[in-house]
Amino acid sequence: MKRQTGFTLIELIVVIVILGILAATALPKFTDLGRDARVAKLQAVRGAVQAAAGLINGTAQARAGVTDAAACPGGGAAATNTVNGTVCTQAGTVLLANWYPTGAAAINAAVGAGGIIPAAGLTTPVFGAVLADFNRQGYGVAVAGTTTTFSVIGGPGTAAGVNPTCSFTYTSAAANGAAPVVTGPTVATTAGC
């Protein structure tokens, strides 16, 4: 009698059922990675903004009262290094509000004449200085008054190059001795990531 080797129909069905169960439990983990990536990207930009605010504050106060003789190597005019003046960085001249980068500078301001956006490194040659440049990198930026809203585009809340449902805000320091206010991201501001 010749002995056959291989799998029986029952063994094949059991393996297929086990694979189906594994796929059903693992699939939700993989499909939600896009949202998790956008939230992580938002957190990274928030960290860059907070670090830049602290660094610019320290630099401005260390250089207090000194007016640079030459134009800033990063672009823009010479820095004045006063409470509501400017400070020179690699990104250009950063506008100050109460010793911190201002949140009121327009994103399409000339390179070297911005506030928190270039201070955080978001106007490098990769990012450029207009909303379309930010959008190509997956970010949205909107300036209203003394507040800059940073967002990550790509989620369901994205419209017109910004995503207010995947965002955080930076508001200029209100007074000398006060720090700027960074609000978010929270559950409400990441709902559309």
- Is the pLDDT assigned to residue 88 strictly greater than 50? yes
**Strands 139-144, 113-114: parallel, antiparallel or unpaired by DSSP?**
unpaired
In a domain, 6, yes or no: no
Give me the torsion for CA of 80, 81, 83, 84, rounded to 10°.
40
In a domain, 24, yes or no: no
In a domain, 45, yes or no: yes
In a domain, 12, yes or no: no
In a domain, 11, yes or no: no
Model-level pTM?
0.78
Q: How many domains does the chain have?
A: 1
Helices (H), 79-130: 116-119
pLDDT 10s digits, 118-159: 888 776 554 456 777 788 888 888 888 899 999 998 888 888
In a domain, 16, yes or no: no
**Which domain range does residue 64 map to?**
33-190
In a domain, 95, yes or no: yes
In a domain, 21, yes or no: no
